[in-house]
Amino acid sequence: MAAQIIDGKAVAQRLRGEIKTKVADLVAHIGVAPHLVVVLASDDPASAVYVRNKGKAAEEVGIRSTQHTLPANTEKAALLELIQKLNADPDVDGILVQLPVPKQHDTEALIRALDPAKDVDGLHPLNAGLLSRGDESGLIPCTPKGCIKLIESAGVDLAGKHAVVLGRSRLVGRPVADLLLNRNATVTTCHSRTKDLAQEVGRADVLIAAIGKEELVKGSWVKFGATVIDVGINRNPAGKLTGDVAFPGAAERAAAITPVPGGVGPMTIACLLENTLIAATRRRVMR
């Protein structure tokens, strides 16, 4: 039986509609729109596109967006100073530093410099620490949050399911494993030193692939009836975007699967907007 294709674009569009309504309510209540500041400190063209798309998406739901573009040779201290200025600015609700940054910067120091209440990427140790303790009251990383919303949109109840996460990055693998555990899944996290990836994948009722290697997961590895969330974004030699999972074979065995593109990607931006709304509401209303 062919798998249900989880349409990330449609789920993201619904979420953006809900956010737009809530932003309008907030504006009616406090008279000012949430404000997201995106900092671009590299000359990577892909990052420039991501930043532009985030700004556009914010404006579409009524969130104000400001972009700070710094030259790639900006000194470490100058970027930290900008973050401190944004932290102190009462009119800024969310700060996102587009990663990766050029090598003169210390990414960890930049993340730690952010005010956790404005850390809409959810990467600050306070937000990550709360999440790993089972407390989701902080800001939650956007892509992992999007993965969970996609699983829920497919009607899957995670309690008691065996979830296998491929990847242990602080951006995706670790936080998504925390979110799955918080929803009572039994979680296995795999990484580059995992001995038998095919065997681990074969035990997954829910599979989250976040590795960054084109179609590393073969369709034949996937358990019949599994839910497959493919986070990977890879550009193959022909210039086509592919995921970490070999889609056609996996779709023959899975009950539900996300495509690449059009799966997790659109959810990441929608969840960034949601985090900005949450940060603004907490800062401006709930204080």
Give the footprint of ligand NAP on this chain (CB under 6 A): 143, 166-169, 171-173, 190-194, 197, 210-213, 216, 231-234, 264-265, 268
Examine the residue annotation and report whether 91 is marked as an active-site residue of this protein: no
What φ, ψ does residue 35 adopt, rounded to 5°? Answer: -125, 115
Residue whose C-alpha is closest to residue 235's, from 212, 216, 258: 212
Shortest Cβ 78–ligand NAP spacing (Å)? 26
Q: How far apart are CA 39 and CA 65, in angstroms?
A: 11
Q: To the nearest whole angstrom, how small is the minimum distance from the Cβ of residue 184 to ligand NAP?
A: 24
| Strand ranges for 89-216 from DSSP E | 94-97, 162-166, 186-190, 206-209
Q: Which member of 93, 98, 118, 178 is catalytic?
A: 98
For residues 164 and 162, what is the distance between their CA atoms, to the nearest angstrom?
7
In the bound state with ligand NAP, the residue whose beta carbon lies nearer, of 268 and 281, is 268
Helix (H) or strand (E) holding 140: none
Q: Where are the beta strands (DSSP E) in 192-252?
A: 206-209, 227-230, 234-235, 241-242
**Residue 174 Cβ, how far from ligand NAP at the closest point, in Å?**
9
Known catalytic residue: 121?
yes
Cβ closest to ligand NAP, residue 23 vs residue 172: 172
- Contact between 62 and 40 under an 8 Å Cβ cutoff? The reply is no
First to last CA, the chain: 52
Q: Which of 54, 118, 145, 223 is catalytic?
A: 54
Minimum gap (Å) between residue 136 Cβ and ligand NAP: 19
Rank residues 227 and 268 by Cβ distance to ligand NAP and give the closer one. 268
Among 119, 121, 205, 230, the active-site one is 121
Answer for the pair 148, 181: CB distance below 8 angstroms, yes or no.
no
Catalytic residue check, 84: no
Q: Measured from the CB atom, is 29 or 191 closer to ligand NAP?
A: 191
Catalytic residue numbers?
Answer: 54, 98, 121
